[in-house]
Amino acid sequence: MQHLILRYFAEGKKIGVLVPSDPHAEQMYQVVVGNLHELIKNKLVQPMKYLWRLRAKPELSNAEISFFTARTVDQARGNKYHLFLINEAGEIAKDHPLMAMWEATIRLTLLDYRGCAWIAGTPRGINDFFDFYQRGLLEEHWQSWNYSSYDNPHVSAEEIDQMIRDEKMSEKAVQQEIYARFVEDAGEVFTGLDQVCILQPLEPAHKSKVVAGVDFGGMRDYTAVSVFDTARSPIQELKIEYWRDPVVKNNVERVLMILRQMRVSHVVVESNSIGTAYIQMMEDEIKRMGMRVELTSLHVSAEVKQELVQSLRYAMEQGEVVLQNDEYAKSELAAFEAKPTPTGKMRYSAPPTMHDDTVMARCLAFRAREKAGESVIKASVRPFWAGQHTRYKVGDATVAIPRYI
């Protein structure tokens, strides 16, 4: 962090820094002051400790460094920065609404200079820091990295191992503090993900028995497809794909393309909510295209969801299935939680503001290996032919699906 701050300062740029508390701000301020000691001594840089700010002599440059805490971040409003650093983001997000700070204050300070932000820290459960990390995995103008303590060239691996043994660190503590993994504080469902999520995308083998699970999304949720080869031991996930597209026909086209490419013989699709219309479209297109794939719909009630999740979790724990090493899909598994309801039952879901679409696609694909489920639902969706498209009436809307040759 200090190197980045000093580089931007040397280039005459303005930097904002957010840290959790006054002691954090004081510590970082003193480190930067130490690095700029000669410039301060020669009065080329003016320190303003009462504001935790350093400013270059005006006739030299406009360089400036300002430190803020979670308590004082509103003071950054109206300022303009080339770079804004958020340090110990996990610690901040544990006790404060970091995303709200970003949206209401920090992001606005970067507009004028088209500046950039770095958000760093050790995870502290599933919170806004995790949401930022997911944006780096999914969104075009964001990027996320993860480094463990073992990646630090200044720390001995033997010393880390010794600390883990001496302190008898729990698996959760090791995952969070050593490997910088986002671990839910309570209610964690899927564990040992580093041993399970190990595969790269695979093509089906000649004698593969390929099945798939599909969880359709809409405006907010992702459409997710998981493909398993059940002929292998352990069962292997060949592909996991997910995307967000509000256009129904685009989702159906893409799902059908994946089913054909991967030579899927059986697919289970969640029929809840908008899934019913999707299923009718898929069934008609599968028949028209002559695809040799069995389509099963499954209404996922709370009880069915618990059964699906527990089945996949048990198989993962027993080493009966291995999954794709996809960072976003892995993060959904890590965040997925089980919490008791007032009636005493368990509720399985993603935390608020997060998604479980890839989790459910994997559960449905694992269910597909049993050829279990209900018969295909005949939704109140009326198809009719028009030119080179099949058109469907869904309420007042008309959706066109191209007729494949």
**What CATH number did the domain enclosing 39 receive?**
3.40.50.300
What is the reported pTM? 0.61
Here the CATH number for the domain that contains residue 237 is: 3.30.420.240
Q: What is the mean pLDDT of residues 203-214?
A: 90
Beta-carbon count within 10 A of 52 CB: 22
- Do 339 and 254 lie in one domain? The reply is yes
- Do 71 and 210 lie in one domain? The reply is no
* Between residues 134 and 191, the one the model is more confident about: 134
- Do 89 and 197 lie in one domain? The reply is no
Closest to 26 (Cα-Cα) out of 69, 63, 76, 84 = 69
Question: Helix H segments across 89-209?
Answer: 89-95, 98-101, 107-109, 128-138, 157-166, 171-173, 193-196
pLDDT of residue 375: 33
Q: 127 in a domain, yes or no?
A: no
Plot region of 121 (φ>0 → left; ψ -120 to 50 → alpha; else → beta): left
Closest to 256 (Cα-Cα) out of 395, 354, 398, 390 = 390
Element (H, E) at 143: none
Residue 219's pLDDT band, with cuts at 50, 70 and 90, is confident
Domain extent at residue 74: 2-121
- Do 116 and 214 lie in one domain? The reply is no
Cβ atoms of residues 293 and 264 within 8 Å = yes
Q: 162 in a domain, yes or no?
A: no
Q: 325 in a domain, yes or no?
A: yes
Lowest mean pLDDT of 109-118, 273-282, 337-346, 348-357, name the range.
Answer: 337-346
- Residue 214: phi, psi to the nearest 5? -130, 130
| Paired tokens of 313 | 């979790």
Regarding beta strands 337-340 and 321-324, do their DSSP bridges make them parallel or antiparallel, or are they unpaired?
Answer: unpaired
Residue 404's pLDDT band, with cuts at 50, 70 and 90, is very low
Cβ atoms of residues 356 and 213 within 8 Å = no
pLDDT of residue 185: 59
The beta strands (E) that lie in 145-293 are given as 197-199, 210-215, 223-229, 235-243, 266-270
* Domain count along the chain: 2
pLDDT of residue 186: 53
* Between residues 121 and 50, the one the model is more confident about: 121
Q: 99 in a domain, yes or no?
A: yes
- Is pLDDT of 191 > 90? no
Q: 213 in a domain, yes or no?
A: yes
- Do 107 and 221 lie in one domain? The reply is no
Q: What is the mean pLDDT of residues 380-397?
A: 39
pLDDT of residue 392: 41
pLDDT of residue 344: 63
Cβ atoms of residues 368 and 291 within 8 Å = no
Lowest mean pLDDT of 145-149, 315-319, 364-368, name the range.
Answer: 315-319
Q: What is the mean pLDDT of residues 62-76?
A: 95
- Do 63 and 204 lie in one domain? The reply is no
Q: How far apart are CA 169 and CA 49, in angstroms?
A: 39
- Do 272 and 362 lie in one domain? The reply is yes
- Is pLDDT of 401 > 60? no
Q: 126 in a domain, yes or no?
A: no
- Do 107 and 212 lie in one domain? The reply is no
- Do 303 and 398 lie in one domain? The reply is yes
Q: How far apart are CA 54 and CA 51, in angstroms?
A: 9
Domain endpoint, select from 121, 149, 171: 121
Q: 317 in a domain, yes or no?
A: yes
Q: What is the mean pLDDT of residues 373-391?
A: 35
Decide: helix, strand or coil at residue 233: coil
pLDDT of residue 372: 37
- Do 117 and 200 lie in one domain? The reply is no
Q: Reading across the β-sheet that carries 223-229, which strands appear in turn?
A: 197-199, 321-324, 235-243, 223-229, 210-215, 266-270, 294-298
Lowest mean pLDDT of 82-96, 330-344, 369-383, name the range.
Answer: 369-383
Q: What is the mean pLDDT of residues 101-127?
A: 95
pLDDT of residue 386: 34
Buried b (16+ CB within 10 A) or exposed e, 24-42: bbeebbeebbeebeebeee
- Is pLDDT of 226 > 70? yes
Beta-carbon count within 10 A of 101 CB: 21
- Do 236 and 345 lie in one domain? The reply is yes
Beta-carbon count within 10 A of 185 CB: 13
Q: How far apart are CA 6 and CA 320, in angstroms?
A: 51
Please, what is the angle between helix 327-335 and helix 357-368, to 10°?
Answer: 90
Q: How far apart are CA 366 and CA 237, in angstroms?
A: 9
pLDDT of residue 187: 65
Domain endpoint, select from 121, 146, 166: 121
Q: 320 in a domain, yes or no?
A: yes
Over residues 301-327, the pLDDT tens digits come to 988 998 999 899 989 988 999 999 999
What's the CA angle centered on 223, arms 220 and 227, to 5 degrees?
155
* Between residues 390 and 91, the one the model is more confident about: 91
The beta strands (E) that lie in 120-234 are given as 197-199, 210-215, 223-229
Q: Residues in the chain, how many?
A: 405
pLDDT of residue 378: 30
Sign of CA dihedral 245, 250, 253, 254: negative
Domain endpoint, select from 71, 92, 121: 121
* Between residues 113 and 351, the one the model is more confident about: 113
- Do 94 and 219 lie in one domain? The reply is no
Q: What is the mean pLDDT of the chain?
A: 86
pLDDT of residue 76: 95
